[in-house]
Amino acid sequence: MDRIDRSWTARIADALELRHFLVPRTPILSPARRRLARALTVADLRKVAARQVPRAVFDYTDGAADEEISLRRTREYLRELTFVPSSLSGLEAVDTSTTLFGAKVAQPFVLAPTGFTRMMHADGETAVVRSARRHGVAYTLSTMGTTSIEQVAAESADAPLWFQLYVSRDRETNADLLRRARAAGYGALLVTVDVPVGGQRLRDARHGFGYPPRLAAGTFLDGLRRPGWTARFLTTPPLSFASLGGSTKDLGAHMAHLFDPTMTIADLQWLRQEWDGPFVVKGVQSVADAVRYAEAGVDGIILSNHGGRQLDRSPTPVALLPEVVDAVGSRLTVGVDSGFLSGADIAAALALGADFVMLGRAYLYGLMAGGELGVDRALEILSAELVRTMKLLGVGAVDDLTPAHVRVPGTEAAARAPFRATRPRPGEHRPGGAQARRTASLR
């Protein structure tokens, strides 16, 4: 009855007390910054991106090959993984840093090489490498990059840079690229092996957006609805494969030579001699191939189906991890990519034995959504999600993520596996990171 008896002045006074809960948001005046601040996930950034760039540009980035089965399956597989947390682990802070090919990085994820990056936003690779540097994240420049090896290096300061090579039919082109990358201070070399021929990207074909990309008239009409993108595109230097020289009209000629379908594993030996740093093969899709590359003496492999952009119905890279890590993990650094869009996805792959995860679309959505600030937003979101996931799992360091933290669809083994303490006890010896993860096998 107390409530009924209260005077209206007392009720107003109570209501006014609520004002303490009404904290107004600090207004963000710039519409671009406001859009980015409201994006809470990479999926949100993807939606912003779709409104900032012409449809053909968005679809080039977002799309995959044929029926896009590879990409869909990979996303579904990641979503089906179940985390198994350990509670009351006594952790306050977590450390996401790791060492990859001898270089310390703040995050266990690496920005993947992407072609035509300046088409997504005119600031292209420059925006990406600056953001990577600020976040202590390694960045990989693509042979099909639209900013040169030297320009990207000039923006990277001393942040870790990797270079990705599409092996050209012309050996001198390969040797020249490697010499320049080495001279500019790139660390690891990634040789992509899943492109003996370009995949059939139906969205691109339907936009009249060929391979190599030609921006059809429709893209420019659509561009009228995307004035920011169009103004930048028309007022900045035309797209070219900046490290390969030549102009926009040479893109097609370069593409014809870029992928040498006659290449065999024996040719890797020749390339290996041209590069004295870490040598990594990107695009491995089976345990048998992982073993062959290990026997060929590479330093690392990346399990990848090229984000579903090459062979459709290809194996789901993250699903290959446990077996591949069992087979070659003690000899090689093992990375994985394709379909990774969140910190939780990344944590799951690390738990399944990956030493690092590569991200392509995840940062490109940010780039399309808002240039360098958009890449910053993507990296902020991903690192915050990774930290939160690790805390919720009760794991203090990336090396402490083990297969016991993830239940794979169709297996119950992880749920039964005993937990390792997440912190070493005084005097306890822990094998190093990836090795620690490998000791806990799923099967």
CA–CA gap between residue 105 and residue 381 (Å, rounded):
17
Query: By CB under 6 A, what part of segment 103-122 binds ligand GLV?
Result: 115
CB of 256 to ligand GLV, least distance (A): 15
Determine which one of 207, 254, 306, 405 is catalytic: 306
CB of 68 to ligand GLV, least distance (A): 13
Of the pair 284, 328, the CB lying nearest ligand GLV is at 284
Of the pair 306, 405, the CB lying nearest ligand GLV is at 306
CB of 400 to ligand GLV, least distance (A): 34
# residues near ligand GLV by CB under 6 A: 4
Residue 48 vs residues 33, 42, 110: alpha-carbon distances, Å: 12, 10, 23
Of the pair 112, 404, the CB lying nearest ligand GLV is at 112
Contact 121, 367 (CB under 8 A): yes
| The Cα angle at residue 146 between residues 145 and 150, in degrees rounded to 5 | 80
Amino acid at 49: A
Of the pair 144, 152, the CB lying nearest ligand GLV is at 144
Chosen residue from 118, 135, 226, 306 binding ligand GLV by CB under 6 A: 306
CB of 206 to ligand GLV, least distance (A): 16
If binding is defined by CB under 6 A, does position 308 make contact with ligand GLV?
no
Number of other CB atoms surrounding residue 338 within 10 Å = 32
Amino acid at 166: Y
CB of 64 to ligand GLV, least distance (A): 9
257 noted as active-site residue: no
Of the pair 307, 403, the CB lying nearest ligand GLV is at 307
Of the pair 46, 438, the CB lying nearest ligand GLV is at 46
Query: By CB under 6 A, what part of segment 21-60 binds ligand GLV?
Result: none
CB of 198 to ligand GLV, least distance (A): 8
Query: Which tokens go with 420?
Result: 């390792």
Chosen residue from 73, 203, 309, 420 binding ligand GLV by CB under 6 A: 309
Of the pair 203, 306, the CB lying nearest ligand GLV is at 306
Contact 220, 230 (CB under 8 A): yes
Site string for ligand GLV, 134-173 (x = CB under 6 A): ----------x-----------------------------
Site string for ligand GLV, 71-110 (x = CB under 6 A): ----------------------------------------
CB of 366 to ligand GLV, least distance (A): 18
The residues that are catalytic are: 306
> Which residues lie near ligand GLV (CB under 6 A)?
115, 144, 306, 309
